[in-house]
Amino acid sequence: MASFTERYHELTKYNPNTIDKLGPVHWDHQPPAFKAISSKVKIDLLSRLQAVMDHLEEGAPVTESPEAGLENIAKLLFFTLGLTARLGDQGGGDYFLRAAPSAGGLYPTEMYVAARNQSGLPDGLYHYHSLKSALIPVWQGSFWGDLNHYFLGHPAVDASGLILIFTGLYGRSAWRYKERAYRRILLDTGHAVGNLLEVCRYSGLDHSLMGGFLDAGLEELLFLSPKEEFPLLGVAIGPRGTLPSFSGQYPGETPAEAIRHLAAAGSTGRELGDGEGEIPAGSRDAGIRDPGIRDSMQVQQNACERIRSEKNLRPPVHAPCGGPDFAMPADFNPLKTILSRRSCRKFSGAAISQGQMREMLAYAFRPSDASWCLASGQLEFHIVVLDVKGLEPGVYRLRTDTLELEPKRPGDFRSETNFMCLGQDLANECAFALVHTSDIARLAEAYGDRGYRYACMDAGQIGERINLWAVYAGLGSSGIGGYYDDQANELLDIPLSHGILYITLVGVPEQE
């Protein structure tokens, strides 16, 4: 195989003949859902959210106020990845639901904040602690020079006073999903980013996605141990009209070069900068309880995605992104939908109309104020129609630029969809399944192995937009990250070189 990404994706597929050999899930070994707080200093955000919630209750627009910097930041963080519900005692304590969905409710995505010239918040770097609804200082002072360097001179850094940095934790997902965990982490991060961009749009903010950066630099700045927690994306934010346009994302090294780095490091991955491979102090707080994760294939995949130097950068990749223009309904409030968003646990089996499906897709793939795509032009989509009024059941290819459906395979594929989704009843009861795919070899050729994180996060963004529109339209949706990969290719009649990245089921929720 030409890239490690192709190898990783192939070897983390689910197969009906081998899935029972993955080993048991040790439920008593689940890592902590939140980082331990070692700092005695924290900046409370909960009180700052009260005005936002009051506006929502009154139905008033929640827009940016230049005088309320910390209030604005509290809103962005809460509606991206804050705690939106608490379920009673779950056999070991309360269980919390967050603004963005997560596979298995494990929430491996963390957020950090870089701030300067923000009212009520001293310049510095902070960790967002969702349980405490607080910012925990990492560094005090302005680090914009470092950030400008690590983000490779991205023009949005200088223009912005606020940058959110998303990271992932292997351990929170790997204890349950093992080597496939990295795929889930990327999708989960995409869900959170999808929320953030919707809140930015609604609040009149510019945003700029910065997927290209020097990984080791951000890890050092944020005190991350890269075989435990790793940076995935930076998002610069500013008032509307203040951020420069920037087309495309930097690719990583060529796959051949990335493999050479990995081979030179050996199985320990020491080139990541982890000393002699000891488990750093505090690793349990970060979510690691299995030392084997340090040398796992998903760690190697992340290692191959890294940008190591600004000296040999390849130019940013850019391609058209998004579908036809979409008129946003005046009564659509993403903040309210985020608060009430939940993954549907049971569909009624009822049909939806073709108009409902098209409206949902138009919202999900609409062009936005700034490009939301990280892997422009690399995702493809198919729809398995089970019960949509006005459409014959079957498999269709979706052209996202026009929202046209091209028939591929007519027929009732309800049983095949159910089998593809590991026998989950949701796949029997939904109205349609949206399948997100990418030609893995072409993706790696365009972006290097880094393209895998870009494409999976894009799939997560689309999945979250579907979730939000479903709430608004009175429908239900559920993201499926566990499926039989090759059987999905067979159902869609696409070559195995196309990786199945995600499946989103949509239907009418059963009334409780």
Q: Span 397-424, mean pLDDT?
A: 97
pLDDT confidence tier of residue 332, bands split at 50, 70 and 90: very high
Are 113 and 162 contacting, i.e. CB atoms less than 8 angstroms apart?
yes
Integer Cα distance of 323 and 401 in angstroms? 4
Give CA–CA dist 12/121, Å, rounded.
Answer: 43
Residue 177 has pLDDT above 70, yes or no: yes
Would the pLDDT of 11 be above 80?
Answer: yes
pLDDT at position 504 is 98
Q: Helix, strand, coil % (nearest 5) of the chain?
A: 40, 20, 40
Quick check: is 229 in a domain? no
Per-residue pLDDT reduced to its tens digit, 336-380: 999 999 999 999 999 999 999 999 999 999 987 668 899 999 999
Name the nearest CA neighbour of 33 among 233, 158, 173.
Answer: 173
HSE-up of residue 259 (Cα within 13 Å, Cβ side): 12
The pLDDT-based confidence of 50 (bands split at 50, 70, 90) is confident
Record the tokens describing residue 143, joined without a space: 């680090």
Nearest in space to 150 (alpha carbons), one of 121, 125, 183, 123: 125
pLDDT, position 294: 57
| 427-460 pLDDT per residue, tens | 999 999 999 999 999 999 999 999 999 999 999 9
Q: What is the CATH number of the domain that holds 405?
A: 3.40.109.10
Q: Are strands 352-353 and 388-389 parallel, antiparallel or unpaired?
A: parallel
Closest CA to 482 of 107, 184, 109: 184
Residue 512: what pLDDT? 63
Structural domain count of the chain: 1
Cβ atoms 460, 186 nearer than 8 A: yes
| Residue type for position 106 | L
**How far, in Å, CA of 429 to CA of 349, rounded?**
4
Q: How far apart are CA 337 and CA 292, in angstroms?
A: 40
Structure confidence at residue 51 (pLDDT): 79
Cα gap 392→390, rounded to integer Å: 7
CA distance 120 to 132: 18
Q: Are the beta carbons of 113 and 80 closer than 8 angstroms? A: no
Per the CB < 8 A criterion, the answer to whether 128 and 44 are in contact is no
Q: What is the pLDDT of residue 320?
A: 80
39 burial via Cβ count (<10 Å: 0-12, 13-18, 19+):
exposed
First-to-final CA distance of the chain? 49
User: What average pLDDT does the chain have?
Assistant: 90
Q: Tell me if 355 is assigned to some domain.
A: yes
Kindly state the helix (H) or strand (E) to which residue 92 belongs, with its residue range. none
Domain that holds residue 341: 334-507
pLDDT tens digit sequence for 245-274: 877 999 999 999 999 888 776 544 434 333
> Cβ-count burial of 186 within 10 angstroms (0-12 exposed, 13-18 middle, 19+ buried)?
buried
Residue 428 is which amino acid? N
In a domain, 16, yes or no: no
64 pLDDT band, cuts 50/70/90, is low
Please report whether residue 195 resides in a domain: no
Q: How many CA atoms lie within 13 A of 491 on its CB side?
A: 30
- In this structure, is residue 473 part of a structural domain? yes
pLDDT tens for 112-149 read 999 999 999 999 999 999 999 999 999 999 999 999 99
d(CA 202, CA 217): 33
Q: Are 385 and 432 in contact (CB under 8 A)?
A: yes
d(C-alpha 414, C-alpha 507), whole Å: 13
* Residue 395 confidence (pLDDT) above 80: yes
Pairing of strands 394-399, 380-385: antiparallel
For residue 447, is it left (φ>0), alpha (ψ between -120 and 50) or beta? alpha
> Within a domain: residue 472?
yes
- What's this model's pTM, rounded to 2 decimal places? 0.93
Residue 501 scores a pLDDT above 70: yes
- Residue 290 in any domain: the answer is no
CA distance 203 to 114: 20
Residue 188 is predicted with a pLDDT of: 98
**How far from chain centre, in Å, is Cα 390?**
33
Q: Which residue has the higher pLDDT, 60 or 421?
A: 421
Q: How far apart are CA 56 and CA 123, in angstroms?
A: 29
Residue 157 has pLDDT above 90, yes or no: yes
User: Is residue 409 in some structural domain?
Assistant: yes
